[in-house]
Chains A and B, each alone.
Chain A
Amino acid sequence: MDLKLIGAEATEAEKAAIASAVPEALTVEVPGRVVRIRRDLRHYLLPAIDAVQSAVGWVSPGAVDEIARRLQVPPAEVYGVASFYALVSTEPRPPTVAHVCNDIACGPDLAAALGDRDDVVESPCLGQCDRRPAVFLQRAGTDDVVLAHATPDAVLAALDGDVGDDTPGFVSPGPLLARVGNVDPSSLPDYRAAGGYEALAKAIEMGPEAVIDEIVASNLRGRGGAAFPTGLKWRGAAGQPGPRYVICNADESEPGTFKDRVVMEGDPFAVVEALTIAGLTVGAEQGYIYIRGEYPLAQRRLAHAIAEARRAGLLGDDVMGSGERFDIEIRRGQGAYICGEETALFASIEGYRGEPRQKPPFPTVAGLFGRPTVVNNVETLINVPRILLEGGAAYAATGTEDSPGTRLFCLSGNVARPGVYELESGTTLREAVEAAGGVPEEIPYLLLGGAAGSLVGSDHWGMPLTFEDSRAAGVTLGSGVIMAFSASTDMREVVRRIAQFFRDESCGQCVPCRIGTVRVEEAIARANGAVDRRLIDDLDRAMKAASICGLGHTASSVVKSAIELGIL
Chain B
Amino acid sequence: MTAETTSPALVTLEIDGRDVAVPEGSTILDACRRIGSDQPTMCWASTLTPVNVCRVCVVEVEGSRALVPSCSRRVEEGMVVRTDSEAVRHARKVVFELLASAVDLSLVDDSIRAWMAEYGCEPERFGPAAPPSDDRDRRQAGHHRRPTGETAETVHQPVKVDNPLYVRDYSKCILCYKCVQACGPEAQNTFAISVAGRGFDARISTEFDVPLPQSACVYCGNCIAVCPTEALMFRSEYELRQAGMWDPDRQEVVTTICSYCGVGCNLELHVQDNRIVKVTSPDDHSVTRGNLCIKGRFGYEYVQESDEPTPIDEVLARARADS
Find residues 96-142 in chain B having any chain A CB closer than 8 Å to their own CB.
98-99, 101-102, 125-127, 138, 140-142
A511-B141 contact, Cβ under 8 Å, with A78-B207, A90-B208, A522-B147: no
- Interface with A: B51-59, B245-253, B258-266, which one? B51-59
CB distance from B186 to the nearest CB of A (A): 14
| Residues of A that sit less than 8 Å from B by CB | 3-4, 6, 61, 64, 74-80, 83-86, 88-91, 121-122, 124, 335-336, 353, 358, 500, 503-512, 514-519, 521-527, 535, 538-539, 541-542, 544-548, 553
Residue in contact with A512 in the complex, picked from B91, B125, B184, CB distance below 8 Å: B91
Distance between Cα atoms of A468 and B92 in the complex (Å) = 33
CB distance from A498 to the nearest CB of B (A): 14
Distance between Cα atoms of A524 and B72 in the complex (Å) = 34
A4 adjacent to B199 (CB under 8 Å): no
Distance between Cα atoms of A80 and B175 in the complex (Å) = 14
Q: Which residues of A contact B146 (CB under 8 A)?
A: 500, 525
CB distance from A170 to the nearest CB of B (A): 29
A508 adjacent to B152 (CB under 8 Å): no
Q: Which residues of A contact B94 (CB under 8 A)?
A: 512, 516, 538-539, 541-542, 546
Q: Which residues of A contact B184 (CB under 8 A)?
A: 74
A511 adjacent to B54 (CB under 8 Å): yes
A505 adjacent to B91 (CB under 8 Å): no
Distance between Cα atoms of A546 and B55 in the complex (Å) = 6
Distance between Cα atoms of A506 and B149 in the complex (Å) = 19
- Other A-B contacts than A80-B196, A86-B143, 16 sampled, CB-CB below 8 A, are A6-B208, A64-B208, A74-B194, A79-B205, A80-B205, A83-B196, A83-B198, A83-B205, A122-B143, A335-B141, A358-B69, A500-B144, A514-B202, A515-B98, A526-B150, A545-B87
Distance between Cα atoms of A132 and B293 in the complex (Å) = 58
Q: Which residues of A contact B210 (CB under 8 A)?
A: 6
Distance between Cα atoms of A148 and B194 in the complex (Å) = 38
Residue in contact with A514 in the complex, picked from B196, B199, B214, CB distance below 8 Å: B199
B146-157 Cβ-contact flags toward A at 8 Å (1 or 0)? 111110110000
CB distance from B19 to the nearest CB of A (A): 23
A526-B127 contact, Cβ under 8 Å, with A90-B208, A335-B141, A503-B144: yes
B55 adjacent to A512 (CB under 8 Å): yes
A76-B141 contact, Cβ under 8 Å, with A511-B98, A512-B55, A545-B58: no
Please, which residue of chain B has its CB at the minimum distance from the CB of A550? B66
Please, which residue of chain B has its CB at the minimum distance from the CB of A504? B142
Q: Which residues of A contact B72 (CB under 8 A)?
A: 358
Distance between Cα atoms of A89 and B142 in the complex (Å) = 11
Interface of A is mostly: helix
Q: Which residues of A contact B67 (CB under 8 A)?
A: 545-546
B141 adjacent to A85 (CB under 8 Å): yes
19 contacts between A and B (CB under 8 A): A6-B214, A74-B191, A74-B194, A75-B207, A76-B192, A76-B196, A77-B191, A79-B205, A83-B141, A85-B142, A335-B142, A336-B142, A358-B68, A503-B200, A511-B53, A512-B94, A519-B101, A541-B91, A545-B66
Distance between Cα atoms of A544 and B58 in the complex (Å) = 12
Distance between Cα atoms of A505 and B54 in the complex (Å) = 18
Q: Which residues of A contact B285 (CB under 8 A)?
A: none
Distance between Cα atoms of A514 and B43 in the complex (Å) = 15
Q: Which residues of A contact B142 (CB under 8 A)?
A: 85-86, 124, 335-336, 504-505
* Cβ-closest 10 pairs across A and B: A526-B149, A86-B142, A80-B194, A508-B202, A525-B149, A74-B191, A542-B94, A4-B216, A515-B98, A75-B207
CB distance from B237 to the nearest CB of A (A): 25
Q: Which residues of B contact A61 (CB under 8 A)?
A: 207-208
A511 adjacent to B99 (CB under 8 Å): yes
B149 adjacent to A507 (CB under 8 Å): no
Q: Which residues of B contact A3 (CB under 8 A)?
A: 191, 216
A89 adjacent to B90 (CB under 8 Å): no
What number of residue pairs across chains A and B have CB atoms under 8 A from each other? 200
A64 adjacent to B141 (CB under 8 Å): no
- B40 in the interface, Cβ–Cβ < 8 Å? no
Please, which residue of chain B has its CB at the minimum distance from the CB of A75? B207
Q: Which residues of A contact B92 (CB under 8 A)?
A: 546
Q: Which residues of B contact A508 (CB under 8 A)?
A: 175, 195, 197-202
A79 adjacent to B198 (CB under 8 Å): no
Q: Which residues of A contact B150 (CB under 8 A)?
A: 526
B138 adjacent to A512 (CB under 8 Å): no
Please, which residue of chain B has its CB at the minimum distance from the CB of A88? B141
- B206 in the interface, Cβ–Cβ < 8 Å? yes
Please, which residue of chain B has its CB at the minimum distance from the CB of A354? B198
Q: Which residues of B contact A522 (CB under 8 A)?
A: 126-127, 147, 149, 152-153
Residue in contact with A542 in the complex, picked from B69, B90, B201, B208, CB distance below 8 Å: B90
A91-B138 contact, Cβ under 8 Å, with A514-B175, A519-B101, A525-B147: yes
CB distance from B47 to the nearest CB of A (A): 20
B98 adjacent to A519 (CB under 8 Å): yes
Q: Output the residue of B92, B199, B201 with the most chain A CB within 10 A.
A: B199
Q: Which residues of A contact B101 (CB under 8 A)?
A: 515, 519
Distance between Cα atoms of A134 and B69 in the complex (Å) = 41
A546-B91 contact, Cβ under 8 Å, with A511-B53, A515-B101: yes
A64 adjacent to B207 (CB under 8 Å): yes
Please, which residue of chain A has its CB at the minimum distance from the CB of B138? A91
Residue in contact with B198 in the complex, picked from A74, A84, A122, A538, CB distance below 8 Å: A84
B149 adjacent to A523 (CB under 8 Å): yes
A544-B66 contact, Cβ under 8 Å, with A76-B206, A509-B53, A535-B125: yes
- B193 in the interface, Cβ–Cβ < 8 Å? yes
A79 adjacent to B208 (CB under 8 Å): yes
Distance between Cα atoms of A535 and B152 in the complex (Å) = 13
- B277 in the interface, Cβ–Cβ < 8 Å? no
- B174 in the interface, Cβ–Cβ < 8 Å? yes
A553 adjacent to B99 (CB under 8 Å): no
- B215 in the interface, Cβ–Cβ < 8 Å? yes
Distance between Cα atoms of A353 and B201 in the complex (Å) = 14
Q: Output the residue of A503, A505, A527 with the most chain B CB within 10 A.
A: A503
B200 adjacent to A517 (CB under 8 Å): yes
Q: Which residues of B contact A507 (CB under 8 A)?
A: 198-199, 202
